[in-house]
Structure 1
Amino acid sequence: MTDLRMLPAALAVWVAAWALTGPGERWSGLAAGLVAVVLVAAGLGIVFLGGPGRDGLPVSRSRRAMTAWPAGHGRRTWLVLPDGHPQPGRDARTAGPARTARPARPAAATVLVAHIALAAACVLGVTASAHVQLTGRAPLAGLAEQRVTATLVGAVVSQPEPFAFAPGAGQHRWVLAARTVDARGVESAVRAHVQVLSDAVPRYGATVTVSGGLRPADPGAAETARLNADSTAEIRAPPSVLRVLDTHRTALLDVTDPLSPQARGLVPGAAIGDTTRLPDDLSEELRRTGLSHITAVSGGHFAVVVAVLTLLCSVARLPRPVRVLVIALASFAFVLLVRPEPAVLRAAVMAAFALTGVALGRPSQAVPALAASVVGLLVIDPWLARSFGFALSAAATAGLVLLAAPLAARLAPWTGEALAFALAVPLAAQAACGPVLVLLDPSVSTVSVLANLLAGPSLVPATVLGLVATVLAPWLPAVAGLVAWAASGATWWIAAVAHRCAALPGATVPWLGGPAGALLLAALTGLALWAVLRRGPRRGWPESWRATARSGLRQVVRETLRGTPPDVLREPRSGGSRSARAPRPLTRARFLLLLAAASAAALVVALAAPRLAARSGMPEDWQVAACDVGQGDALALRTGPASAVVVDVGPDGPAADRCLDQLGIARVDLLVLSHFHADHVGGLRPVLAGREVAAALVSPVPEPAANAAATETALTAAGVPVRIAGTGDRGAAGSLTWRVVQAGAGTGANDSSVVLAARVGGLDVLLLGDLEDAGQAALVPLTGRFDVVKVAPHGSAVQSRALAERVRPAVALVSSGRDNEYGHPTDEALDLYTGVGAAVVRTDECGTVALVVRGEEVSLAGC
């Protein structure tokens, strides 16, 4: 039986941690007191409802006789007297009829109170922990609200990673566990995490001092504040263990550098979770096909590592204590090697429970181990309740533990045991993780089960060979290079599966986003699981069907290839006449025709269904649309029923592609790339792959150079004619006319943005790109009144009052990401455009929006 007794406590702790790290953080002290009262009351309830009886054995408060048991089996002998009280130790011959008995099970009320007591104790732990940690964060949080300049000292507790949207090139983002803060001449002790953006790349585990301007973090974030570093200095090196492991990480990157692009990214990703060199297109394909877990080290990687070590220890015939010690030390080193991310911590703690059970000779059960791991980690760090990585890891583990075996049992009669288990694992993980994934990306992958089924066998060799190469790389780089090359064979198959499955029509289906979408998907998944699991396994296909299908299929294929009708479907050769109800003979031509018709119908459905589903909710007569692509720009100006002029394509990822699908755009008459920052050109490849692009107009200033070169390469590979924009350029597409008001007028990428004016559907539209002070000032004498303005840049505080008063739009579109790193849009920008009479429309609040012109009225759709 599956032991679910810890699940209510784990769920209660998760809810409490989520509330206390968000809206309820001010009430953590009061909450701790209330939970303590509940815990005391529950303890008293247990004592009065079902406390221990005589001799320390629990008995019911009822005076009924106890349940009889057969004699023997080493149980204590009880005598049940006529009044119903058991008396131990009296002789049966003097006390009347006797029988052996066991105490009755505790009453349901006692069990309920015990569960409440356990949950209350766990919630009290997480509440007290949150209260203590919030108290330690308070001084730094106050300084961040005041946006002061400060100097912090602490340890680097996350692996520095390149930050794509940093204002400067080559900047990295990492987390500092701050221990002291010096601001306004006062030094204070703190215990808080700070997200740092810096040019320097500190070593993981080093103690550093960093100076810069503090900014408040997003509500509910694990970090207390954000800091854009002006200077960073290492004052103490990392511990020797971390330095050794860093050497292995760096050496693995060195030995995989000569390999193919997919291997340079996937071999380190599958071995140690390093995705810094993973190609963007491959990363997107892994995400679309549900294979991202291959580069996110968690339970699967731990299972591989522990299984291999257990096998080696068994071959070496090591005694049990030595095996446990070896596996524990190796697991600890593996955690440090891949960095203790939330999913890694969950897997490590569960592995610790399993090793403890092995050491004691009592193997632990998976569900209690998972629940205890969740409780323990949330008590240590309540902010893990808001981590998507932690949520996905816990959900996937719960799905595999609770659903894989029942699903395999239902599938086995139809598919065979091996294939049933192979299908049940990705099905269980998809069912458990689907509602969480919808919160990250409002879409559902329809190919994840197929992709995991095909790619799953390659994960073990990719991980094992990658780790062997990691161990050997510092000492035997030549041998490590050969091992990494062998691992690249496994990763090649994974990349091929991801590429092919992602290219299938309807690989992802749009879904309702946010909590409502997650709840809807969870309800539908639960309903489907209930329908499948409510009955026991069936007998499967009748054997007569299987035999007929096998023989019939063989004969159809054989005869079709020979060019003659199959015997089983052929008209009688002689004697008698064919019955009036007999089916017509299936000739080869008719067979191929039916196959082609079925394939065409399936293709039409697969291609049309996702696009029709995506377009639901967006009016057919929209004229101007601002796509929700996060922190970036992507706008569309309608030129025909399925065509548009598109200005910018947002950051890396499929967001702009999905938006154009939602708008029904199959052809881009003109693609305008205002400048080459990643938040404007990052989504180019999916847009090019999803539709025909007739021509492109790009900024005359190729900065940043790497982005400009990548953009040129992508456009050339897609066969798109490219033209450098110049002030005064003009053209038309359908009923739309456009002209370049300004291009390359300033210095730097932002001030060199292509400023486009267009007239579409009776609206005059001005798109400002990311112009800053100089660019906006230069634009003032070149413009007049416009109906719609795209505010630059993303609603930052850098705004020209003279330009806003000159343009005086009726609608101001602000394209920015929800909870973005920069605080866009700022109050200054919103107040400025509201003050000149504009209705401000924000994609971070509304999502994708469109302006619709009907008669003399302009209306807004999507908000």
Structure 2
Amino acid sequence: MRAGSVVEAGRAGATESPDGSGAPGKAGGVRDSGKGRGAHAAHLLLPAAASWVIALVLLGCPAATGAVVAGLTAVGALAVAVLVRAGRTAGRRNAVIAVLGCAAAVAGSVAFRVHAAGTGPVAELAGRHASAVAEAVVTDDPREVARRGGPFRRESFVVPARVESVGTGADRVRLRAPVLLFVSGAEWRSLLPSQRVEVSGRFGPADPGELLAAVVLVRGAPRVLSGPSWEQRAAGALRSGLRKAAEVLPPAQRGLLPGLVVGDVSRMDDQVRADFKAAGLSHLLAVSGANLAVVAGAAVAMARTAGLPLAARAVLAISAMVAFSIVARPSPSVLRALLMGGVAAVALGTGRSRDGVAALSATVLGLIFFVPDLARSYGFALSVFATAGILVLAPRWRDRLSARMPRWAAEAIAVAAAAQAAVTPVLVLMSGQLAPVAIPANLLAGPAVAPATLLGFVVALVAPLHLGLAQLLVRPAGLATGWIIEVAGHTAGLPLGVLPWPGGVTGLLLLAAAVPLAVLVLRHRRIRLIALAAVAGLVLAVTVAAPIVARWPPRGWLLVACDVGQGDALLVAAGPGRAVVVDAGPDPVRVDRCLRSMGVGEVPLVILTHPHLDHVGGLDGVFRGRAVGAVLVTPRGTGDDAGEHEGVRLSEDLARRRVVEWAASPGASWRFGPSELTVIGPVTEVSPTGAGKGAAVNNASVVVHVRWAAGSALLSGDIETEAQAELLRRGLPRAEILKVPHHGSGRYDPAFFAAMGARAALISVGADNDYGHPAPSTLATLYRLGVRVHRTDLSGDLAVVDSGGALSVIPRRSAPAGGAPVRD
């Protein structure tokens, strides 16, 4: 799906830059080389499409169903071959035979694999949810599970593997069964494919449609029984060398470069990952035909410079692609790209132009037959649809655009637009959205992809031999990577960059109805001009008028409750471009996004009320690109053992960052810009009675009173009934704004709310959370006291501003009908 150029075929004969994606390696475009070739492509396209649909459906069915479908389609193919004579309808006859024959083969393949995955000792263990000791061979790199706890939660991984024995001693049973291991612990990160390990865990059934015998919840660390194979060891050394060489780059670049080159995203920054997703650039992180096109194109260019014949160029291109595939690991996407690249290289070596659609169809057909679970892979679908769009749509669009602009510009726009248009149905099924921003993002990022990929691959080869030289070579690769990061960051926030659209089949049907209408509009000049004018007016309204009518951030904001899901993250104004951060929420990406939206580039003080993940898990996002002065935490010894453990890990993380850590003490105060902050908690003399786990840590929350010229606010962390009562006994300062404790939990003291005298309450809470927050009794009490309630799950970010000498709450979006009021 990477923007590139479309291959010129037909006029010059052979292509000089084979591409594993079926996309182009050289500027020009695909020419129609005749009806026979088109018919040949169609004969392969129909069986490939039918096989994909058959596999997609049968993967969720019992093996017997697949066997029946295989039998019926095989009989049908035989009947057509015997009963229908070859004549003027020979083409249609052969096409039907091909479709039915391929459908029979794929149905039989799926039935065999479903039966194999659903039977045997491992499947029996899964059916009983039994525990056992097993020997397994790792079949792919451990994939880290996204951690909402940032550095404060144990690393977790998903490890694809093949179980080869179950049990111990005389009870050991030999077998071969694919499984998925769910594991935790940093020791799993270093495992390489082909390593044999012994694990102990509980077996459970896999999700329907997955060709797995079981999923295994592994207990403890693996016992490594053997090392990796030589090729995996070599690939691991090269990937490790690339990571070491990239250490000289800034953090965002050093994490992204291995992802661009070999798909290694183990160190990628969460915010960069989120920007890539929003900008439609996530495909750059998956090794595909574009990577192989760059490597093979460089090999062919060197061979051509040396004057080698076509056959030698093809051999060199294939060798380069095979070497790259070993380094990148032969995942399904790499295998597909390698097959496509091999087809293109053979065409190059024989001097015959290739039919991209036919090659793509043959590749899809072969992969679905041998790896049928790809039929349900969105990644596979995105790759195939993008390649098909570039092959089918891009040449026509390029030719139309060439009449209005230079051919190279038309080529670039056509490829990016065609790829995005082709993958739109898949994106609608996946996430229910349209992403027009992906076209300009790919156009801008595209020129930097090839240099980053090629230089990164060279660095991976050089690093094991001479790390110093590799670190010199990696710097220009870092510049190219930095450009891509900038493009992603700026395009991710563009107005109308991502448009909401119904997801699933409903969205797909609406898209199918909208496309013909759009084509009809674009075909008529007058209607097209009217539509373009309407779109331009809409864009102008969103980009210019909307910020004037509903400015964000609000001018003169004093406090912001960030919408970070189920957690707390508050910003207290500390002067232009500065804010005190009170808690960091569970997600680094969301708290960083909130800080960026408010224009905060410096944080003189971070206050972490207590070490629970929904308050400290997003700390990485606060530090991203910002200077942080100090961090205030609750004193040690004020919570339970779990809280103490998390507090220790928090201290270790702050020490690693070389940031000063202070223990909160009631009475401490600071003045930052318009805000005066005074610590009035934690309360250490309380012990929860009848409360759930974690109440002791909640009651030890740092409580802060913030005063401005226009009024004050109380930021209460997660304190519960006991701490609230103790603060009330000591004498609670009044405040116009209350950050409701513990996301509106039902464990509260009504007298605490009454004594506050608040006019507005902010509840930081995640939509449809599992805790029942906010509790109906809490909301009823606040309403009874005449307090206006504002919730982040209903209104997004909430800003407190000085409105004519009084405090007012402005939401980023209006609450739905029946929700909380949106303004004091």
Task: Tell me which residue corresponds to 1:153.
Answer: 135
Distance 2:509 2:586 in 1: 29
* 1:530 counterpart residue number: 519
Q: Which aligned pairs between 1:97-176 and structure 2 lie closer than 5 A?
A: 104-106=88-90, 110=93, 113-114=96-97, 116-135=99-118, 139-144=121-126, 146-165=128-147, 168-176=153-161
> How much has 1:421 moved relative to structure 2?
0.8
C-alpha deviation, 1:611, in angstroms = 12
- Residue in 2 that maps onto 1:12: 50
Write the mapping of 1:527-676 to structure 2, written as runs, cut at 5 A.
527=516, 530-531=519-520, 605-606=542-543, 629=565, 633=567, 649-654=585-590, 675=610
Alignment match, 2:804: none
Unaligned regions of 5+ residues in structure 2, if any?
A: 1-31, 33-37, 530-535, 553-560, 572-580, 598-604, 625-629, 636-646, 670-678, 705-713, 729-739, 751-762, 781-791, 797-816
Q: 1:565 aligns to what?
A: none
Per the normalisation by structure 1, the TM-score is: 0.63
Partners of 1:780 and 1:298 lie apart in 2 by 57
CA distance in 1, matches of 2:355, 2:65: 36
Determine which of 367, 379, 397 is the counterpart of 2:387. 397
Counterpart for residue 555 of structure 1: none
One of 58, 62, 78 as aligned partner of 1:43: 78
> Equivalent residue for 1:30?
65
Partners in 2 of 1:215 and 1:240 — Cα distance? Answer: 33
User: For each residue in 1:524-551, what CA deviation from the matched residue of structure 2 results, as whole angstroms up to 9, or x when unmatched?
Assistant: 7734773488699xxx9xxxxxxxxxxx
Q: Does 1:752 align with 2:752?
A: no
- SS at 1:227 equivalent: strand
- Whole-angstrom CA distance in 2 between matches of 1:755 and 1:218: 41
1:18, 1:386 within 8 Å by CA — same for their partners in 2?
A: yes
Contact map agreement 2:312 2:349 (CA 8 A) in 1: no
* Kept after mapping to 1: 8 A contact 2:134/2:166: yes
Deviation, structure 1 residue 289: 2.1
Task: Give 1:422 shift.
Answer: 1.0
CA distance in 2, matches of 1:750, 1:302: 55
Rate the CA distance shift 1:303–1:19 in 2: closer, same or farther, 3 A: same
CA distance in 2, matches of 1:133, 1:318: 49
- Tell me how far 1:612 sits from its aligned partner: 10
Report % sequence identity.
Answer: 29
Compared CA separation, residues 332 and 696, structure 1 to 2 (3 A): same
Among residues 172, 184, 194, which one is paired with 2:180 in the alignment? 194
Candidates 468, 482, 485, aligned match of 2:475: 485
Letter matched to residue 343 of structure 2: F
Q: Is the 8 A contact 2:281 2:488 kept in 1?
A: yes
CA contact (8 A) 1:850 1:860 kept: no
After superposition, what is the alpha-carbon deviation per residue over 1:285-343, rounded to whole angstroms, capped at 9, x for unaligned?
33322233333221211111121222223334445554444333332221121123332
- Contact 2:135 2:196 survives alignment (8 Å): yes
Cα deviation for residue 453 of structure 1 reads 1.5
Q: 1:757 to 1:686 in 2, by over 3 A?
A: closer
- Alpha-carbon distance between aligned partners in 2 of 1:276 and 1:610, rounded to the nearest angstrom: 38
Partner of 1:494: 484
Query: What's 2:359 paired with?
Result: 369
Match of 2:808 in 1: none
Look up the match of 1:421.
411
Q: Which whole-Å CA distance do the structure 1 matches of 2:687 and 2:51 have between them?
A: 55
Paired amino acid for 1:704: L
| 1:766 CA drift (Å) | 14
| 1:699–1:744 contact (8 Å) kept in structure 2 | no
1:509 aligns with 2:494: no
Which one-letter code corresponds to 2:650 in the other structure? P
CA distance 1:634–1:14, change in 2 (3 Å) = farther
Q: Assess if the C-alpha contact under 8 Å between 1:172 and 1:197 holds in 2.
A: yes
Deviation at 1:789, TM superposition (A): 10
Q: CA deviation at 1:230?
A: 0.9
Distance across 1 between alignment mates of 2:685 and 2:593: 27
Match of 1:704 in 2: 650
Cα distance, 1:47 vs. partner?
2.5
SS at match of 2:222: strand
Partners in 2 of 1:746 and 1:527 — Cα distance?
A: 67
Alpha-carbon contact 1:156-1:175 (below 8 Å) kept: yes
Determine helix, strand or coil for the equivalent of 1:6. helix
In the alignment, structure 1 residue 350 sits paired with structure 2 residue 340: yes
Q: Distance in 2 between matches of 1:335 and 1:325?
A: 15
How many equivalent pairs are there? 684
The CA RMSD measured in Å over matched residues stands at: 6.1
Q: Structure 2 CA distance, aligned partners of 1:521 and 1:709?
A: 54
Equivalent-residue separation in structure 1 for 2:685 and 2:98 (angstroms): 68
Q: Structure 1 residues 677, 183: CA separation in 2 closer, same or farther (over 3 Å shift)?
A: farther
Counterparts of 2:197 and 2:76, CA distance in 1: 48
Structure 2 matches for 1:304-453, cutoff 5 A? 304-358=294-348, 362-438=352-428, 441=431, 443-453=433-443
1:676·1:708 contact (CA, 8 Å) conserved in 2?
A: no
1:182 corresponds to which of 147, 161, 167:
167
> Offset at 1:671?
10
Which is worse superposed, 455-464 or 38-47?
38-47
Following TM superposition, by how much is the alpha carbon of 1:243 offset from its aligned partner in structure 2, in angstroms? 1.4
Distance 2:234 2:309 in 1: 29
From the superposition, tell whether residues 529 and 139 of structure 1 become closer, same or farther in structure 2 (CA, over 3 Å). Answer: farther
Q: Provide the rounded CA distance (Å) in 2 between the counterparts of 1:305 and 1:657.
A: 36
8 A Cα contact 2:496 2:539, kept in partner: no
Q: Are residues 346 and 609 of structure 1, via their aligned partners in 2, closer, same or farther at CA, if it must alter by over 3 Å?
A: farther
Rg (Cα) greater in structure: 1
Determine if contact 1:627/1:659 at 8 Å carries over to the other structure. no
In the alignment, which of 194, 208, 223 is matched to residue 205 of structure 1?
Answer: 194
CA offsets 1:648-698 (integer angstroms, 9 cap, x no match): 63324349969999xxxxxxxx99866556665555787999xxxxx9996
Q: Which moved more, 1:274-283 or 1:469-478?
A: 274-283
Contact 2:429 2:505 in 1 (8 A): no
From 447, 450, 454, the counterpart of 2:444: 454
What does residue 228 of structure 1 align with? 218
Name the CA distance, whole Å, in 1 between partners of 2:339 and 2:697: 52
1:649 partner amino acid: G
> Residues 228 and 107 from structure 1, CA distance in 2 versus in 1: closer, same or farther, beyond 3 angstroms?
closer
* Closer/same/farther in 2, CA of residues 377 and 257 from structure 1, 3 Å limit: same
Is the CA contact (8 Å cut-off) linking 1:510 and 1:613 kept in structure 2? no
The Cα shift of 1:372 comes to 2.5
Asked if structure 2 preserves the Cα contact closer than 8 Å seen for 1:217 and 1:226, the reply is: no
Change (3 A) 1:244 1:190: closer
Q: Which has the higher contact order (CA 8 A, sep 6+)?
A: 2
CA contact (8 A) 2:387 2:419 kept: yes
Shift of 1:377: 2.0
Judging changes above 3 Å, is the alpha-carbon distance between structure 1 residues 511 and 659 closer, same or farther for their aligned structure 2 residues? farther
Query: What is the CA–CA distance in structure 2 between the aligned matches of 1:162 and 1:746, rounded to whole Å?
Result: 38
Aligned to 1:66: none
C-alpha spacing 1:320/1:414, structure 2 compared with 1 (3 Å): closer
> Deviations along 1:796-833, whole A, 9 cap, x unmatched?
xxxxxx989x9xxxxxx998999xxxxx96xxx99xx9
Q: Does 1:298 align with 2:281?
A: no
Distance of 1:144 and 1:803 partners within structure 2: 40
Q: 1:750 to 1:792 in 2, by over 3 A?
A: farther
- 1:246 corresponds in structure 2 to 236
**Partners of 2:609 and 2:414 in 1: CA distance:** 48
Q: Check 1:248–1:677 CA distance in 2 against 1; reply closer, same or farther (3 A cut).
A: farther
| Alpha-carbon contact 1:328-1:352 (below 8 Å) kept | yes
